[in-house]
Amino acid sequence: MKSFDAIVIGGGQAGPFLAARMVERGMKVALIERKFLGGTCVNAGCMPTKTLVASARAAYVARNSAVYGVNIPGEIAIDMKVVRARAETVTMNARNGLIGWFAGMDGMTVIYGHARFEDPKTVSVNGETLTAPRIFLNVGARPVIPDLPGINDIDYLTSTSIIHLDTLPRHLAVIGGSYIGLEFAQMYRRFGAEVSVIEHGPKLASREDEDISDAIADVLRSEGIDIHTGVSDIAFARSSDGITVATDSARIDASHVLIATGRKPNTDDLGLDAAGVITDKHGYITVDDTLATNVEGIWALGDCNGHGAFTHTSYNDFEIAAANLLDGADRKVSSRILAYALYIDPPLGRVGMTEKQARASGRKIMISTRPMSRVGRANERGETKGFMKVIADAETKKILGAAILGIEGDEVIHGIIDAMNAGTTYPALQWSVPIHPTVSELIPTLLGDLKPV
């Protein structure tokens, strides 16, 4: 049996950085990764997909360049092999950077293999047994494949496998109208495929307020994406030239099907029962406000704990655990103000409560909205789709939440994120003097238009 000061299972966006911090403190750490260092973000999520989004935007701008007085003769052609290779290069550079970083650390042992608990302090991997007083789980999540008629008779894609395509689908049917599915839908439409989005719920991006969801749908429809919502029945069958997707309202002749109906935690084969670690009904590991499980000496970080399915929340889990365990701090998950983005174009930047949540909270609230068509930078760039929205507490004057669907919305939202984390009241922000011409300069104006509801 090999002994360590700590064992980290999973090489995503929390565990490796925590392992590095512990090594800096002179600890002996084992980092066990089943497949690739970097987790979903580096290998099948943020980095490759946003690289693909950038290629798709380049194609879109090229096709619409005449609007700006730039004439490109001939048809805009997409070389999917180059597109794929570019995304793969970005992934490999990041993954190899982690490999090289860890290789230079005395006290760090990286093991590739499938780890399972033998007891609360012991795990087995590759026929070896390892023990440590502290064990951290950062095992991530994977795509959910729903049990739909005919699904096992077709070759479907997931968000993991689609990034390896080096040919252009004739017609891509996207099953699921949430964040992952919508990004791929617009991306492949811009590459030149016909695209249909099929969503069981009544609207796209169901977490958002109805006005945001409607605006997202308008953006996608304006680019020729076929959207079906409120679909109750879906079935698949092979056809002579692809896949038939039959719903209760339509029949789609697709060449490829992307299943984007959510993700589930990679916790079902870790031997958690042997350690006594509790999970909820969806398989997420139950943790307290410091990310500790019900078993002393075991913590769960990142997607597998159900407290955020984003790279930045996973990294913040590392920050919380490191601060509490190594720096004597008392940081809590409940102090985190959730923010995220949807990377369609224009992007959606979101922070805090939706309007629906704010109304349900019983607070006296104020709301302000402003169309992007009234933003100077948006008009100058010829990108006026979307709108800004902010919600505030009428009594405390604190900002409760905001949504910016529009040009650079994923960056602009950080002004509000910072203000919310600092506890700044909205009247204080109204007196800032932002740079012109930017999208951010409209934040004081947006706040000045807050009205009680």
pLDDT tens-digit readout, 254-270:
999 999 999 999 999 99
Question: What 3-state class would DSSP assign to 2?
Answer: strand
E strand intervals along 21-121: 29-33, 108-112, 116-119
pLDDT band at 109 (very low <50, low <70, confident <90, very high): very high
d(CA 288, CA 200): 33
Radius of gyration of the chain (CA): 24
d(CA 267, CA 34): 13
Query: What's the whole-number mean pLDDT along residues 162-185?
Result: 97
Q: Which helix (H) or strand (E) holds 235?
A: strand 234-239
Q: Is the pLDDT of residue 84 over 90?
A: yes
Is residue 290 within 8 A of residue 284, CB to CB? The reply is: no
pLDDT band at 151 (very low <50, low <70, confident <90, very high): very high
Q: Look at residue 249 in the predicted model and tell me its pLDDT.
A: 87
Query: What's the whole-number mean pLDDT along residues 69-84?
Result: 96
Q: Which helix (H) or strand (E) holds 86?
A: helix 80-103
Query: What's the whole-number mean pLDDT along residues 120-144?
Result: 97
Q: Is the pLDDT of residue 221 over 90?
A: yes
d(CA 355, CA 159): 30
Set out the domains of the chain in order of their start, with CATH numbers: 2-142+264-335 (3.50.50.60), 151-261 (3.50.50.60), 339-452 (3.30.390.30)
Question: What 3-state class would DSSP assign to 108?
Answer: strand
Q: Is the pLDDT of residue 293 over 90?
A: yes
Q: Look at residue 436 in the predicted model and tell me its pLDDT.
A: 96
Q: Look at residue 309 in the predicted model and tell me its pLDDT.
A: 87
Q: Look at residue 196 in the predicted model and tell me its pLDDT.
A: 98
Beta bridge partners of 117: 123
Q: Is the pLDDT of residue 194 over 90?
A: yes
Q: Look at residue 408 in the predicted model and tell me its pLDDT.
A: 97
pTM for the predicted model, two decimal places: 0.96
Eight-state DSSP code of residue 279: B
Q: Residue 16 corresponds to which tokens in the numbers above? A: 């490796």
Q: Is the pLDDT of residue 358 over 90?
A: yes
d(CA 356, CA 353): 8
Strand-strand pairing, 387-393 and 365-371: antiparallel
Q: Residue 234 corresponds to which tokens in the numbers above? A: 């879906």
Query: What's the whole-number mean pLDDT along residues 294-308?
Result: 97
Q: Is the pLDDT of residue 306 over 90?
A: yes
Query: What's the whole-number mean pLDDT along residues 13-36?
Result: 96
* Average pLDDT in the chain: 97
d(CA 134, CA 109): 15
Q: Is the pLDDT of residue 326 over 90?
A: yes
pLDDT band at 118 (very low <50, low <70, confident <90, very high): very high
Q: Is the pLDDT of residue 199 over 90?
A: yes
d(CA 184, CA 177): 10
| Cα 101 to Cα 12, 49, 68, 108, distances in angstroms | 14, 24, 45, 10
